[in-house]
Amino acid sequence: MSRTTDPVALDDWYVVGLPGDVQAGRPVTRRLLGADLTLERTADDVRVTEAASGRALPVQTAYGHLWTTLGAPKRPLFAIEEFAEADRRLAPCGAVRVRASGLRLVENFLDMAHFPFVHTDILGAEDKPAVEPYDCEIRRDVDEVWATNCRFWQPQAAAHADGGQMSDYIYRVASPFNVLLYKTCPSDAGRQDVIGLFIQPEEEDVSVAHAFVHVVDAVSSHTAIVHFQQTVFLQDRFILENQRPRLLPLSPRAETPTRADMSSIAYRRWLKEKGLRFGIDRRDAA
Ligand SMILES: [Fe+2]
């Protein structure tokens, strides 16, 4: 397909990689919203151009990643305040291509009910499958979706976890294709690890997931942190690629909601309000 015409999708910021992906004299190509991009290293920055038109696109580096836009975002990139804390470690966990809508990836990230069955003995245990009630809301002041007071028993909550723990979660959908998770830190009960998924939607049904963790963990090796997240995400990819339809349906009739799906319902409602079309299954649109 060619570049989307959906203005809601165009007017937003997207991750297209890490600054270190682009070396001097070796341009790289990326796909975003159906458009080909060229990334080139300049004297002190990275230049991103839309290949078809040669148009230079806005670029910024934030949260250890490179961001660009094909449109005109109406607000600045969302803030992640924890990036001001110097003792945290950022571990980008690689770019993984998934044959599914980026919106499906966000929805899966929000879903606690799959932990015991997909991430068995890591993020959930088969004998403790219950999702306890939690709170979920669309925060109008920041235009984000938040789920709070989420609790789940986890046998191995993080790379540095030593035994099981009751994890407290806060989920934050900061933009339609970017989602964060604040989670009990196994090594410091007063703080929260930040885990995120920055999604680069290549096509409506093909996405590149840039997962990262930003943790308070003085113990684990970088390799151990990355390996833990990659193990978890590859389990998710298998589920995501087998989900049908690949695009996200918004109709309440399309998939049966359960109590555990409250965050999914709020996310879909929020997307519908925005009028986003890219990545959405429109066959049943009312
Ligand atoms: Fe998962």
As a whole number, mean pLDDT of residues 269-279 equals: 96
CATH number at residue 232: 3.90.380.10
Q: What is the pLDDT of residue 189?
A: 80
Residue 139 Cα, ligand 1 centroid: separation in angstroms? Answer: 24
Residue 103 Cα, ligand 1 centroid: separation in angstroms? Answer: 14
| Distance set, CA 49 to CA 20, 30, 38, 54, 70 (Å) | 18, 10, 5, 6, 9
Residue 93 Cα, ligand 1 centroid: separation in angstroms? Answer: 15
Name the packing angle between helices 262-274 and 102-110 (round to 10°): 150
Residue 40 Cα, ligand 1 centroid: separation in angstroms? Answer: 34
Does residue 186 have a pLDDT over 80?
no
Residue 77 lies in a domain: no
Q: Are residues 61 and 191 in the same domain?
A: no
Cα 121 → chain centroid: 23
Q: Report pTM.
A: 0.94
Residue 195 Cα, ligand 1 centroid: separation in angstroms? Answer: 12
Distance (Å, rounded) from C-alpha 55 to C-alpha 272?
31
For 222, list phi and psi in degrees, rounded to 5: -55, -45
Residue 82 lies in a domain: no
Does residue 155 have a pLDDT over 80?
yes
Residue 108 Cα, ligand 1 centroid: separation in angstroms? Answer: 6
Residue 232 Cα, ligand 1 centroid: separation in angstroms? Answer: 6
Does residue 43 have a pLDDT over 90?
no
Helices H, strands E: what count in the chain?
5, 16
Residue 123 lies in a domain: yes
Percent of the chain with pLDDT over 70: 95
Domain residue limits at 102: 87-281
Residue 240 Cα, ligand 1 centroid: separation in angstroms? Answer: 9
Residue 5 Cα, ligand 1 centroid: separation in angstroms? Answer: 31
Q: Are residues 114 and 172 in the same domain?
A: yes
Residue 68 Cα, ligand 1 centroid: separation in angstroms? Answer: 27
Residue 95 lies in a domain: yes
Q: What is the pLDDT of residue 161?
A: 80
> Domain tally for the chain?
2
**pLDDT tens digits for 87-144?**
899 999 999 999 999 999 999 999 999 999 999 999 999 999 888 999 999 999 999 9
Rounded (10°) CA dihedral 152, 153, 157, 162: 150
Name the packing angle between helices 102-110 and 222-241 (round to 10°): 110
Residue 34 lies in a domain: yes
Residue 118 Cα, ligand 1 centroid: separation in angstroms? Answer: 7
Residue 72 Cα, ligand 1 centroid: separation in angstroms? Answer: 32
Residue 235 Cα, ligand 1 centroid: separation in angstroms? Answer: 7
Q: Which of 19, 12, 18, 69 is nearest to 212 (CA)?
A: 18
Residue 110 Cα, ligand 1 centroid: separation in angstroms? Answer: 8
**pLDDT tens digits for 223-261?**
998 999 999 999 999 999 999 999 999 876 666 666 558
